[in-house]
Structure 1
């Protein structure tokens, strides 16, 4: 049993002996929990430890109300059978644990959990949303967004439109300000396909705006590769070379800033910086253009209400150039990034780590990393 698992088990037993429920007991022992979580991290260095030696002059970079997490990071805990584990399992217990850690915001990644958890397996309903909202409120959490359903059809089918509107209704019940997806607008390299994607997103964005929500898309690294929009055509009549415009930057140009927003995944943007440095111009020459993730945000910072704060340790032995690690333990300079975005207090960073779930011997790992990452985010100073 890991240190984190022992802590959870101890909390349950001692809480019952003292006549307290688990949440009240843990709230009274937050300091003990913090020490246990950081100690369990082993060789991982906490930025919080370094911050105690001397804080920067510009104060806290991510204020407490803006500290968030996407629930994809702890998907193993949400999908865990509560009847077979003493660890937090299912939405209710996981939200309780994230609130105890200190998170103020969450981003959903769908509404499914283990069937034995309270509420059942599927909470993608109006009734399920009301249940989730109660648990959010109980734990002082605000839902900021969701990686949910975006219609694939265009023009929209009635079935897709109805399902999209259901997701808007669920978002409204949950109190969200944003609704979106974890996928790129299109996986195509061709300008014509990005034009179609922009038309669809503009239409969906108008519907979301009318419902009082901001519609956003999320990037992976390939969305910041170069658009094929010039040069000789291939056998299918498609361009084979580039004018040096990156796909998602073109999407920003083509979509209405009143209706379409972006969530930059800062890790994947740095992977794009590593991978996509050159393009073949229309004359066949190789051109170099180094991507600047922060520069993209600075150019129109208000279009990026959400970030995925995913950290990476440099590893040039991999195709991506980085390995995902808990927030504050990698090489991405988040202090410089958040200091430079502008619009202080506007952005909502959501900690994410795709590989946070552990194996059978480390079943509490994702929540342990969530604890460590929260403290490192809290320690960021200008």
Structure 2
């Protein structure tokens, strides 16, 4: 190689270091399965889970986040955990996380909580699901004292779940960002939980809806901790949920660097406000995501 060729090549390599991460992402095949939070299609899952899973697979969804685990019966959508796993296997689908009903345990004993966590662990293991996620607390529970209590319980659950070989995460809404005399619940969760035990599932819709920060700013402050994302759009007028591409969130600008985030899984979601019905909405969102956003992941 002569000196001129060497200089040209090294100059190109040097310039590449300053290109935005998206320039590289565009050139690489996505390593993530396209995920869906099944709560979006809860009506269809309640009616015919098998037909519904076949339909969303045809749309391109490969991975799911479950909800509604019946801990006493060990069932998902009316199927025993092992039976539901067999259905997923037959369809070539996976479940990487679940939203489990932890909220009532803010008002129960730690022994009751630990028993429930053991049941969740059993269900998650049966599905070969890597993550258990705390998704929500009731409106009457959203006090600063309860956020501090919850942070302590998150650490307890995280230790128990981690010891079982699984991961544990907390999913935000918008209420965590509400101001309480200069404090907010999300800061408590971030600062009073062990980052090794309690990971974070970022709902980008709610981050943008709260208008207190951005997904990129959160990742910059806590790199590696946001192992899961929820991606959904915001109606331009009502600010309610809407199908991807129909709303006001420009995800090309909003999406953080997945590597810096620590991203392992993401899920498209729409909690309601369907243009027609839930299955049509997830088809619309899948089509938009594959065309405009999947290339960045």
Helix, strand or coil at the partner of 2:205:
helix
Map Cα deviations across residues 176-211 of structure 1 (whole Å, 9 max, x no partner). Answer: 111013204984342x43222111110111000011
Does the Cα contact within 8 Å between 2:136 and 2:173 map onto a contact in 1? yes
Distance 2:93 2:262 in 1: 18
Alignment match, 1:188: 142
**What is the aligned counterpart of 1:208 among 155, 161, 166?**
161
Alignment match, 1:98: 56
Distance 1:130 1:98 in 2: 21
Helix, strand or coil at the partner of 1:332:
coil
- The offset of 1:139, in angstroms, is 1.7
Distance 1:106 1:125, change over 3 A: closer
Does the Cα contact within 8 Å between 1:64 and 1:104 map onto a contact in 2? no
Alignment match, 1:48: none
Does the Cα contact within 8 Å between 1:220 and 1:265 map onto a contact in 2? yes
- The offset of 1:291, in angstroms, is 2.4
- The offset of 1:126, in angstroms, is 11
Helix, strand or coil at the partner of 2:165:
coil
How many matched pairs? 268
1:346 aligns with 2:258: no
Distance 1:267 1:210 in 2: 32
**What is the aligned counterpart of 1:255 among 183, 193, 196?**
193
Alignment match, 1:166: 119
Does the Cα contact within 8 Å between 1:184 and 1:219 map onto a contact in 2? no
Alignment match, 1:368: 280
Distance 1:183 1:136, change over 3 A: same
Alignment match, 2:8: none
Larger radius of gyration: 1
Does the Cα contact within 8 Å between 1:62 and 1:377 map onto a contact in 2? no
**What is the aligned counterpart of 2:184 among 246, 255, 261?**
246
Distance 2:28 2:235 in 1: 21
**What is the aligned counterpart of 1:334 among 230, 251, 256?**
251
- The offset of 1:93, in angstroms, is 1.6
Map Cα deviations across residues 36-85 of structure 1 (whole Å, 9 max, x no partner). Answer: xxxxxxxxxxxxxxxxxxxx8441799263310011000010112xxxxx
Distance 1:60 1:193, change over 3 A: farther
- The offset of 1:249, in angstroms, is 2.3
Helix, strand or coil at the partner of 1:346:
coil
Map Cα deviations across residues 290-319 of structure 1 (whole Å, 9 max, x no partner). Answer: 42332012222321111111111322xx5x
Q: List runs of 5+ in structure 1 lacking aligned partners.
A: 1-55, 81-89, 113-120, 229-240, 274-289
Helix, strand or coil at the partner of 2:260:
coil
Please report the TM-score for the alignment, with normalisation by the length of structure 1. Answer: 0.63
Alignment match, 1:149: 101
Q: Could you say what the CA RMSD is over the residues aligned between the two structures, in angstroms?
A: 2.9
Alignment match, 1:7: none
Judging by fraction of residues, say which structure has more helix. 2
